[in-house]
Amino acid sequence: MQEKPPSLQMFGIRTPLIEPGDNIAKIIIDSLEEQGMQFQEDDVLIIAESPLATAEGRLVDLEKIEPCEKAMELAEEYKLDAREMELILQECDEIFGGVPGAALTITKGTLAPNAGIDGSNAPEGHVVLLPENAQESAGRIRREIMEHCKCKIGVIVGDSRTQPLRLGCVGIALGTSGIVPVEDARGTLDLFGKEMVITRKAMADNLVSAAQLLMGEAGESVPAVLVRGAPVQVVDEDIDMPLFSRDECMYYSNIRKA
Amino acid sequence: MQEKPPSLQMFGIRTPLIEPGDNIAKIIIDSLEEQGMQFQEDDVLIIAESPLATAEGRLVDLEKIEPCEKAMELAEEYKLDAREMELILQECDEIFGGVPGAALTITKGTLAPNAGIDGSNAPEGHVVLLPENAQESAGRIRREIMEHCKCKIGVIVGDSRTQPLRLGCVGIALGTSGIVPVEDARGTLDLFGKEMVITRKAMADNLVSAAQLLMGEAGESVPAVLVRGAPVQVVDEDIDMPLFSRDECMYYSNIRKA
């Protein structure tokens, strides 16, 4: 008999407003229990980076930021708040250029407009920086939940990105723990028995995009999503997001440094 | 009482091998029934572009292609088969540059390596071009299924793309019918009651990425996925994928024309 076709379920987790210093793992466990659910073996939890960063104390009061001269120049160029531009310069690895409202940077190894700094879902006059180390956060939360729930799960810290020449945000994984973030389909066979040559599956990014269907971007208070049954490899270790050589990237190799 | 947190379910649809001339709507209806399921109001169906294009006769025998001089030059530059490069030139709107193995093009309005032409899941010596008009295909299939199942559904034709500087493929919608592909969250309020400024949600792209968790890239014979319960607006009309001005795109505005 043929194997049953794959299926999965996703559940939004509604929480109270997350504040600096909160224990986000505990809030998620409690909120899930209030929904009458608990974690099961091989579940994958996706957490939005902004509430996580808020809990981790990455909320910044713009009034306390003094922009340097370079920040003021670039703020003018990209039509950004000079204090936010100062934070972008402090946070990013590199800055390439941009458009009005967005400076294009590489931050913590990933392309990110404005170094991932965001004023939405932050109190007036404040912005939220990216989590200091999303993979470490994912690992910490995973271990805390596993200790409480006695089952093996995966955790992903997710963010939003636009794709080139596309309107609207999709998901991207900033850090993962307990899953294989990119699966290598090279060497597997296609429908005609030929070997697949270059295909890799961005499981973690796709899981975040799926989660964003339930999360929303605005004040919906669904900062986390539980995915059950996804054909992803849940493993008891932290696997780094694999790096992509810049020369191999067809977009990057055509991006002009500003 | 608070509203129930959002949730959704996804089901892979396993089909026989799709061949040129096949009626893909009928194959999907039959395969779903064989799995003991049927379409329900507001379901969204995601179909992979490659089997759809195959059914629509977009399979090309490379032996019948005569590359022009420009195709031979570019094939040399990007390390591609000259006949495939000839097809890329015929199919694409523009070509920007690329890396070994991939020419970066805009094809049917969307960034696509190699004009979306793919040799995987095609018979030896053949490639599959993108569907001629993915939105028309989505509309035709939607109307055929709705007529059979007497309920309102949405249909998306999906493809794979890499994101800049990321390893692995994620989903992208080539055409949709019966759903709002990009939802505008501008004007909604964030957690602190402030208006969201620039956020749009790429619902169609995220649905395709979610579906790819179940589809796989290789010979898994799951060319379609049913999504049930997604908070997407299912409407009885065809809405164009909204265009994104090139100047507004922070990636494009930094891409150097080759």
Q: Is the pLDDT of residue B257 over 70?
A: no
Given B99, B129, B159, the domain boundary residue is B129
Q: Which residues of chain A make contact with B246, given a CB cutoff of 8 A?
A: 165
* CATH code assigned at B114: 3.90.1660.10
Residues A97 and A194 in one domain: no
Same domain as A203, residue A91: no
Mean pLDDT of A95-99: 84
Indicate the number of domains in chain B.
2
Q: pLDDT grade, residue B244 (50/70/90)?
A: confident
Which residues of chain A are within 8 Å of residue B168 when distances are taken between CB atoms?
A: 181-183, 200-203, 205
| B228-256 average pLDDT score | 82
Among candidate residues B53, B182, B248, B216, the one with its CA nearest the CA of residue A170 = B182
Residues A205 and A176 in one domain: yes
What percent of chain A is modeled with pLDDT above 90?
A: 68
Which one is predicted more confidently, B23 or A120?
Answer: B23
Inform me whether the pLDDT recorded for B258 exceeds 50.
no
Give the model confidence (pLDDT) of A119-176 as tens digits: 887 888 999 999 999 999 999 999 999 999 999 999 999 999 988 888 899 999 999 9
Phi, psi for B141 (deg, rounded to 5): -65, -40
B170: domain CATH number? Answer: 3.30.1330.100
Q: What confidence score (pLDDT) does residue A120 get?
A: 81
Distances (CA, A) of A135 to A112, A155, A156: 17, 9, 8
A73 & A27 share domain: no
Burial class (CB in 10 A: 0-12, 13-18, 19+), A147: exposed
Provide mean pLDDT across the span A213-235: 86
> A30 and A64 share a domain?
no
Q: List CB contacts of A245: < 8 A, sequence separation 6 or more.
A: none
pLDDT-derived band at A35 (thresholds 50, 70, 90) equals very high
A81-94 burial, b at 16+ Cβ within 10 Å, e below that, comes to: bbbbbbbbbebbee
Q: Mean pLDDT over residues B251-256, rounded?
A: 69
Q: Are residues B83 and B135 in the same domain?
A: no
Confidence of residue B223 (pLDDT cuts 50, 70, 90): very high
Taking residues B100-128, report their average pLDDT: 89
Helices (H), A42-112: 49-55, 69-78, 82-91
What pLDDT is attached to residue A24?
Answer: 96
Nearest by CB to A192, from B102, B124, B243: name it.
B124
CA-only gyration radius of chain B, Å: 19
One domain, residues B7 and B112: no
The proportion of chain B whose per-residue pLDDT surpasses 70, expressed as a percent, equals: 93
Residue type, A245: S
User: ipTM value of the model?
Assistant: 0.93
Same domain flag for A34 and A19: yes
In Å, how far from its chain's centre is CA A149?
24
Same domain, A8 and A73: no
Statement to judge: residues A91 and A217 lie in one domain: no
Six-digit token pair at B88? 């890329």
Together in a domain, B112 and B207: no
Q: Mean of the pLDDT values across residues A41-59?
A: 96
Domain end, chosen from A129, A147, A180, is at A129
Q: Cα–Cα distances in Å, from B123 out to A179, A217, B59, B120? A: 34, 43, 9, 8
Average pLDDT over residues B80-105: 92
Domain with A241, as residue range(s), is: 1-58+131-258
Decide: A35 and B5 in contact? Cβ < 8 Å: yes
CA distance B27 to chain A (A): 15
Which residues of chain A neighbour B120 with C-beta distances below 8 Å? 190, 194, 196-197, 199
**Mean pLDDT, chain B, whole residue set:** 90
Per-residue model confidence (pLDDT) at position A196: 64
Q: What is the mean pLDDT of residues A98-102?
A: 86
Q: What is the pTM of this model?
A: 0.94
Q: Could you tell me which residue, A234 or B190, shows the higher pLDDT? A: A234
Mean pLDDT along residues A66-73: 97
Q: What are residue B128's DSSP bridge partners?
A: B59, B118
pLDDT > 70? residue A216: no
Instruction: Report the distance separating Cα A239 and Cα A182, nearest Å.
Output: 10
Contact A244 B5 (CB under 8 A): no
Q: Is the domain of A31 the same as that of A41?
A: yes
Q: Are B154 and A240 in contact (CB under 8 A)?
A: no
What integer pLDDT is reported at residue A182 of this predicted model? Answer: 93
**What's the confidence (pLDDT) of residue A256?**
56
pLDDT above 90: residue A179: yes
What whole-number distance in Å separates Cα of residue A152 and Cα of residue A95?
Answer: 39
- B89, B114, B129: which is the final residue of a domain? B129
CA distance B111 to chain A (A): 7
Task: Read off the pLDDT band of A234 (50, 70, 90).
Answer: very high
Q: Is residue B3 predicted with pLDDT exceeding 50?
A: yes
